[in-house]
A and B are shown apart, each in its own frame.
Chain A
């Protein structure tokens, strides 16, 4: 299906929920509100005509100095219909929280942990939101544009795996 067809089909499936839509460089994109995230993404996955069953990627971008500052970006693919969509949620700097979609896709669990780790965007309803690539004692969120690229952090003491295991903290 061509990008324009997907977009018009989504438009009719979610009246009033699509804040913005465009198709750029072959990627069809819709922007939704975070309050509708679970409903829209869930239906995109379940709807037989759309059937976006593969969560290809979940990431974020920091547009530092602009408002809304953050964009959470979902890339979905349909294995049945072989088409794609990009879904965006815009988040303000003061309130970086959005619903977790880990109940819809198991892979979202780790992907959301990574976005939390790198951007400090928290996902409400996530079963286990802790850092994934950085270590527990790390301060700040390195992929934010206001995190200096050459910043050094103090060495942390070795963690005792028995009394203070990572997965219990």
Chain B
């Protein structure tokens, strides 16, 4: 009996077999619908084939059917952890096609809202990464902090996630009067919470063992995979669109671009953590320097008239009607514009044929490139490393699958 059992084990020795394992597309630890086809030697990953597309909604096709401003709510649903940056990127590219620049106050507002969005995105990413590595309390602390920022976003835009705040030629509404005071209170709370999180993690043996040296990628490969944002900066390339090709009023603010040396998950985590502080610093400078003035371009061809004109006179009503039904007439041409999204370079490539609708909308979401590189990042690592690496690539389905 025992002899037979020994023989069976010898013939089907699980340690000598190469196993193929399907992980996902609906896996509890991957916050996003994604499928990994793993080739495993024991627990070690020999090959990892990544399959995306489960959240494909035809964003680009949908945009071609709508007017320019109708596309803005769709852009909310690209990277839904930082929708304001998507809004701003889309509006900036459309304005580049129009060859117009929004008023200075609007530029400041866009910077402030983009940076708040960057903080919420990084907090989501870091909180989830900490929870997945077992640090539950850090996750909850960060979520608490994020909630105060969502309150701020809701006070400005009226929504937490589906903000649809930017328009071609401006933003929908001005900041509330007490906005700066609320931001300062929220930041004071956040600094305290971040200090706590720092103490809990930065010298935590378990956390460092799970993150350090895991999912690393060389600088050469990172560039070849077109990685940008924290993934590229972790390998030591100080490339940040806000510094390299400043847009809005970013060149007026003083901030650092943190970089790493190893290109591993720990560097990515540290960079995002440092960027939280840099973003707070930018917002504080912007709130100090924000001028008063209009928040949208005063051009009846581009922006909607005041409500009193819409209801008060026929010209205003017609202007409103034409813009809403036909859309902003953007001259024929094409434009490509990049902004620094939370996960890397976020670009829109817009082609206009001169009608009120975009002819082609293409978005370059940074997550797509991170996922393309994941197979290489994971080679030779353990199954459990997939979770931390996936967390640090911070794939956002809406942006990756569009």
Assembled-state Cα–Cα distance A133/B333 (Å): 28
> Which residues from A are CB-within-8-Å of B347?
56-57, 75
A25 interface residue per 8 A CB criterion: yes
> Which residues from A are CB-within-8-Å of B237?
79
B277 interface residue per 8 A CB criterion: no
A38 interface residue per 8 A CB criterion: no
Chain A's closest residue to B364 (CB) is A57
B221 interface residue per 8 A CB criterion: yes
- Contact at A133–B96, with CB atoms within 8 Å? no
CB distance from A84 to the nearest CB of B (A): 8
- Contact at B245–A149, with CB atoms within 8 Å? no
> Which residues from B are CB-within-8-Å of A62?
360
- Contact at B53–A56, with CB atoms within 8 Å? no
Assembled-state Cα–Cα distance A61/B358 (Å): 12
- Contact at B334–A27, with CB atoms within 8 Å? yes
- Contact at B372–A57, with CB atoms within 8 Å? no
- Contact at B372–A56, with CB atoms within 8 Å? no
Instruction: Knowing A79-B223, A109-B372, say if A24 contacts B333 (CB, 8 Å).
Output: yes
B196 interface residue per 8 A CB criterion: no
Selected contact of B22 from candidates A59, A133, A135, A161, CB within 8 Å: A161
Assembled-state Cα–Cα distance A167/B335 (Å): 36
Assembled-state Cα–Cα distance A55/B371 (Å): 16
- Complex interface: stretch among B57-65, B185-193, B208-216, B263-271: B57-65
Instruction: Knowing A57-B362, A106-B224, A109-B372, say if A132 contacts B52 (CB, 8 Å).
Output: yes
Assembled-state Cα–Cα distance A37/B224 (Å): 18
Assembled-state Cα–Cα distance A86/B239 (Å): 19
Question: Which secondary structure dominates where chain B touches chain A?
Answer: mixed
- Contact at B51–A56, with CB atoms within 8 Å? no
B336 interface residue per 8 A CB criterion: yes
Q: Mark A108-126, 1 if CB is under 8 A from B, else 0.
A: 0110000000100000000
B320 interface residue per 8 A CB criterion: no
Instruction: Knowing A132-B52, A166-B51, say if A110 contacts B372 (CB, 8 Å).
Output: yes
A4 interface residue per 8 A CB criterion: no
CB distance from A121 to the nearest CB of B (A): 14
> Which residues from B are CB-within-8-Å of A118?
60
A134 interface residue per 8 A CB criterion: yes
- A85-136 at interface with B (beta carbon < 8 Å): 86, 105-107, 109-110, 118, 131-135
Assembled-state Cα–Cα distance A27/B351 (Å): 13
B9 interface residue per 8 A CB criterion: no
Assembled-state Cα–Cα distance A54/B52 (Å): 23
Name the interface size band of chain A: 35 or more
> Which residues from A are CB-within-8-Å of B225?
105-107
Chain B's closest residue to A117 (CB) is B53
Chain B's closest residue to A25 (CB) is B335
Assembled-state Cα–Cα distance A19/B287 (Å): 49
Assembled-state Cα–Cα distance A73/B96 (Å): 18
Instruction: Knowing A56-B226, A149-B61, say if A133 contacts B53 (CB, 8 Å).
Output: yes
B118 interface residue per 8 A CB criterion: no
Assembled-state Cα–Cα distance A162/B53 (Å): 20
- Contact at B96–A26, with CB atoms within 8 Å? yes
- 16 A-B pairs within 8 Å (CB atoms) are namely A56-B338, A57-B347, A57-B349, A61-B359, A82-B245, A105-B224, A106-B221, A106-B224, A106-B373, A107-B226, A109-B372, A131-B53, A132-B52, A133-B52, A142-B58, A167-B49
Please give the residue numbers on chain A whose beta carbons come within 8 Å of chain B beta carbons, in ascending order: 24-27, 53-57, 59, 61-62, 73, 75, 79, 82, 86, 105-107, 109-110, 118, 131-135, 142-143, 149, 161, 165-167
